[in-house]
Amino acid sequence: MREYAFELAVCAALEADSDGVLARQLGTHARVVDAVEVVPGPEFQDRVDLTAAAIPSLAIESEVGPGRARYWKDAVDAPSDRARRAVDRARRAVDRAVEIGFFEAERRGGREYVRQAARYPDWFDGLRAFENKPDLGRPGDLALQLRKDVSLGLFDEVILVTGSYVTGAHLNRFPEEVGVWRFDPEGGSFEVVREASPLAVDEPGIALLDEHPGRVDVEPVTAVEKARLRLRIAERAYGKGWRPETFPACERVEARGPDFRPDDTLPFCAWKGRLVDPARECGSDCAGHEPADPPDADVARQRERHTPWRRDPEGAIRRQAALDRFGDR
Ligand code: SF4
């Protein structure tokens, strides 16, 4: 089975078993992880209520609290006008935080002041990374990727998901902390071949940047930096999800799920008889392509049906405005 179709089926099956949220293809420290599950924490619902989008990490890490408004340049990490790019980044983060309702802005004396619309919640308890490899006979640089994940320890657990029969020789090739699950993409079921061991996410880690014959390039990463990266990953996963957003403009594509969850909204090509990757496989170069409007596919609605994520939560600003209106009566 193709990696893309396998990965979508894995995500559909993981989501069915999860009470958190899942995302595909997330950049982490020095590599892109196939799938990430965010395990909910005590204030998960507060995060759901805040905004559907990822909150910029600069805004979360800023000196802006929910109380008194502060001049944005003093509050967000925008050190000086000489560091132009840092200021631009901070400005974009402030604009985005205001746009999605995490910050409220007001103008005083020609300056913009911001404050948090609500306290940032303690909303996730863990991160699990999944590396998908349908065929272990074609592993590519899988063993190196898994060594990188274990060495850095950004995720509480790292799990290899495969469609292959797993032998002892395979297991010996991968770090012993990595869980190994066998996945049946037709039935959507997992068989745990080896349990994952928890990684030391609260301790410093070593990023393996590259391996050369006789030499490994590494970079130490502090526990504080890891915590920052984990927050960033959780936020991006919350905002992104895993379903492809765009469908090909082709008569042959339907919005449906794999056989074990047919009512989902994924790009299924009737001509190929499987899920397809629109960016790689579709277009006028495809022999089966028949121009047509893309199918109606409400991806956000599917995400709402299957997860706690909400596309249009009330948000702290609207909630406060509603309370104020109520109080005026
Ligand atoms: S472009 Fe080709 S692969 Fe894509 S949906 Fe159409 S027939 Fe299928």
Same domain, 152 and 301: no
**Residue in the block written with tokens 């702290």:** 316
Q: Do the domain assignments include residue 286?
A: yes
**Is 94 in contact with 102 (CB distance < 8 Å)?**
no
- 150's tokens: 């274990």
**Torsions phi, psi for 106 (to 5 deg):** -145, 155
Same domain, 132 and 178: yes
Distance CA 193, CA 180 (A): 5
Q: Do the domain assignments include residue 21?
A: yes
Write out the H or E segment, with its range, that includes residue 14.
helix 3-17
Distance CA 9, CA 186 (A): 8
Whether the CB of 274 sits within 6 Å of ligand 1? no
pLDDT tens profile 231-242? 999 999 999 999
| Domain with 136 in it | 3-43+122-240
Q: Do the domain assignments include residue 107?
A: yes
Distance CA 223, CA 234 (A): 16
Q: What is the mean pLDDT of each run of 10 residues along the chain (329 residues)?
A: 91 96 90 95 96 94 85 76 77 93 92 92 97 90 93 97 95 96 95 97 93 87 96 97 94 93 93 92 94 93 95 77 59
Residue that finishes a domain, picked among 116, 132, 150: 116
Q: Do the domain assignments include residue 326?
A: no
pLDDT tens profile 286-306? 999 999 999 989 999 999 999
Distance 90 CA to ligand 1 centre (A): 42
| Nearest alpha-carbon partner for 255 in 196, 318, 301, 309 | 301
Whether the CB of 53 sits within 6 Å of ligand 1? no
Q: Are strands 157-162 and 124-133 parallel, antiparallel or unpaired?
A: parallel
CA dihedral in degrees (166, 170, 172, 176; nearest 10)? Answer: -60
Substitution candidate for ligand 1 out of 256, 281, 290 with most atoms within 8 A of CB: 281
pTM of the entire predicted model: 0.91
- 124's tokens: 């996730």
Q: Do the domain assignments include residue 236?
A: yes
CA 287 to ligand 1: nearest atom: 2
| Nearest alpha-carbon partner for 52 in 302, 318, 317, 310 | 310
